[in-house]
Amino acid sequence: MEHGGDIYTNRGIELDFSVNLNPLGPPEQVRSTLRNMLDLIACYPDPLCRKLRHALALKLGVPEAWILCGNGASEMLQAAVQAIKPTKVLIPVPTYQGYERAALATGAEVIFRQLERENGFRITDDILEDIETLPEGSILFICNPNNPVGNCIREDLLQRIAEKCRSAGIYLIVDECYLELVPGEEARSMRRFLSANPYLVIVRAFTKTYAMPGVRLGYLLAADKALLEKIRLQQPEWSVSMLAQCAGLAALSLDRAAGVNKRRGTDRGADGGNGEAERKSADSISYLTTALQVIHDERDYVCQRLRDLGAHVYDGEAGFVLFSCDGELYEPLRESGILIRRCDGIRGIESAGSGKHFYRIGLREHSENVRLLDRIQDLLSQ
């Protein structure tokens, strides 16, 4: 269960490309909020996360009653599987290893659907046949966009999967933790299907979008009240700290400001001449929109340079890149103070049989990406 971001085992790391975060880093509003809220550590947090759930409901356009907050997406995944107690869990691989971990913790039988390397590790219509073999009450995990590959599942196929799961009584858990940093997030999210599908569960986190993994803040969406209550009972009291709730509200205030700015358009007098509202709106739009643009530009640059170096780059849209090459990069890069994600041992990649080394790198600022690629060029040219 190796994971990215292990700067504790790997000492002396200057650049960590092993994690997949917003390349802009945490918003200044989140940083300043945490600095100003330190006195709140003397208070118990709201166990129901009422203010945070209200802000999420406004952002996502779903009822507050459908939202459950927790200590990161990992806790939400574990709690959901523990609540459902499936006999079988279907996982297309390669994907995030936490799904397997959550399934094994319940004693469920795990069935793996090997995604084809020749097809770019994409989920295809074959998954529909796998669903038919599952007994009622099973779970299917889908990561969209998929980690570590970075590709998104076709929207029409995802809808067909959801409908097939609903009619068969199979729980579909869709991990959308990376979706907010992919173009067209609102149209691609499955939350618009929640009301008609009691078997649909969506897991998200603040980790990637706002680059705050150390805060540990995630949430789960489901329309079935009984299921949500079962999941909630798997969580400890005060699962979300006071500081995490404050950080989440600060991050979501950027989204609300952006929405206000979008509705007001170019009406600079809408706030009665007070430029503060305009400044916050501009900050929020620059953070989220700029992040998408940076990811787009840096992904193009990184992928092209890797291809020029002879690496095979897998198609994707997320803020990270999966590639394979003949050379050993992990150890020499680590010795240079650069950490990348070694993927050779991930289930579904280790059985791909290409005879190459697989790596995943999270996109960072341009100068940092240049430094990484220059070092890779040196290593592959030796």
Helices (H) and strands (E) in the chain, counts: 13, 13
List the pLDDT tens digit at each of the 382 positions of the chain: 467 888 888 889 999 999 999 999 999 999 999 999 999 999 999 999 999 999 999 999 999 999 999 999 999 999 999 999 999 999 999 999 999 999 999 999 999 999 999 999 999 999 999 999 999 999 999 999 999 999 999 999 999 999 999 999 999 999 999 999 999 999 999 999 999 999 999 999 999 999 999 999 999 999 999 999 999 999 999 999 999 999 999 999 986 555 444 433 433 333 333 444 444 444 546 788 899 999 999 999 999 999 999 999 999 999 999 999 999 999 999 999 999 999 998 999 986 656 789 999 999 999 999 999 999 999 999 8
**Residue 293 corresponds to which amino acid?**
Q
Q: Which residues contact 67 (CB under 8 A, 6 or more apart)?
A: 53, 56, 57, 60, 219, 220, 221
**What whole-number distance in Å separates Cα of residue 13 and Cα of residue 268?**
46
pLDDT number for residue 8? 82
Containing H/E element for 118?
none
Cβ–Cβ under 8 Å, residues 299 and 363: yes
DSSP 236: P
**Tokens at 87, concatenated:** 């006999």
Domain boundaries, the chain: 15-22+285-380, 28-248
pLDDT number for residue 107? 96
pLDDT number for residue 285? 60
DSSP 181: G
Burial grade of 296 (CB within 10 A; 0-12, 13-18, 19 or more)? middle
The domain made up of 28-248 is a member of CATH 3.40.640.10: yes
Burial grade of 88 (CB within 10 A; 0-12, 13-18, 19 or more)? middle
pLDDT number for residue 354? 66
DSSP 25: -
Cβ–Cβ under 8 Å, residues 52 and 248: yes
DSSP 320-357: EEEEEESS--HHHHHHTTEE-EE-TTSTTTTTS---SE
Containing H/E element for 35?
helix 28-36
What is the number of residues in the chain? 382
Closest CA to 23 of 380, 263, 365: 365
Cβ–Cβ under 8 Å, residues 169 and 133: no
Cβ–Cβ under 8 Å, residues 23 and 294: yes
Burial grade of 145 (CB within 10 A; 0-12, 13-18, 19 or more)? buried
CATH class of 15-22+285-380: alpha beta
Cβ–Cβ under 8 Å, residues 6 and 202: no
Cβ–Cβ under 8 Å, residues 89 and 101: no
How many other C-beta atoms can be found within 10 angstroms of the C-beta atom of residue 128? 14
Cβ–Cβ under 8 Å, residues 175 and 209: no
